[in-house]
Amino acid sequence: MSPALNLALFDLDNTLLAGDSDFEWAQYLISRGVLDRELHEAKNQTFYEQYKAGTLDIHEFLDFQLKPLSRHSRAELDGWHHDFMATRIRPIMTAAARALVRQHLAAGDLCAVVTATNSFVTGPIVREFGIPHLIATIPAQQDGRFTGRPRGTPSFREGKIERVEGWLESLGLCWQSFGHSYFYSDSHNDLPLLLKVSHPVAVDPDDTLRAHAEQAGWPVRSLRGETPAAT
């Protein structure tokens, strides 16, 4: 493998998206009456605040996040997700984020989204961006239905490194296969993977990540404030 190949990894929520797909999916289900507003809205907000504070118990959160998938058929879920994409996601896919992805794809870089959000929610979003690979938390399925449990290591904090390295191994690659490796993220939860790549980039970072990036001399950039790209 030529060392000229580069690797470009992207966090999704609040990085490529000007919002959080995980949070928005729960809010969407509440808005449709699929989830009880009184029971779920406060808990959804609590988990989101814990994530931002770096105190999230990923297994407790996944139990909350994945259980609703197990209560409905895949056809029903897919129909809701189609509407979710149109009403909640495309409006927060900025022109700047689409341009960044196109730049790396046009350069021939190996591109993947690496996200803690589950692959049912994020798969269509990643395909909309044109990114060929997704490393996400996997909701287990049996006979075409979700079980409500995750499969394997969640793609969260240090788990992102494990999942990325397993994916690279499956392609016959490793970190040393690349001339340059990039990771774009907004969150201090992603510091383990940011420290692993050769070119970490803080995108609209939280305060903790911004302080770390400024101290380390990492680039800090914004993908916000752009008009959403035409679809």
Question: Got the DSSP string for the chain?
Answer: --TT--EEEE-IIIIIBSS-HHHHHHHHHHHTTSS-HHHHHHHHHHHHHHHHHT---HHHHHHHHHHHHHTS-HHHHHHHHHHHIIIIIGGGBBHHHHHHHHHHHHTT-EEEEEEEEEHHHHHHHHHHHT--EEEEEEEEEETTEEEEEEESS-SSTHHHHHHHHHHHHHTT--GGG-S-EEEEES-GGGHHHHTTSSEEEEES--HHHHHHHHHHT--EE---SSPBPP-
Question: Which residue of the set 13, 22, 190, 206 is catalytic?
Answer: 13
Question: Which residue of the set 11, 20, 190, 206 is catalytic?
Answer: 11
Residue appearing with tokens 């046009």: 106
Q: Is 143 a catalytic residue?
A: no
Q: Is 206 a catalytic residue?
A: no
**Residue 14: partners with Cβ closer than 8 Å, 6 or more residues away:** 20, 186, 187, 204
Catalytic residue numbers read 11, 13
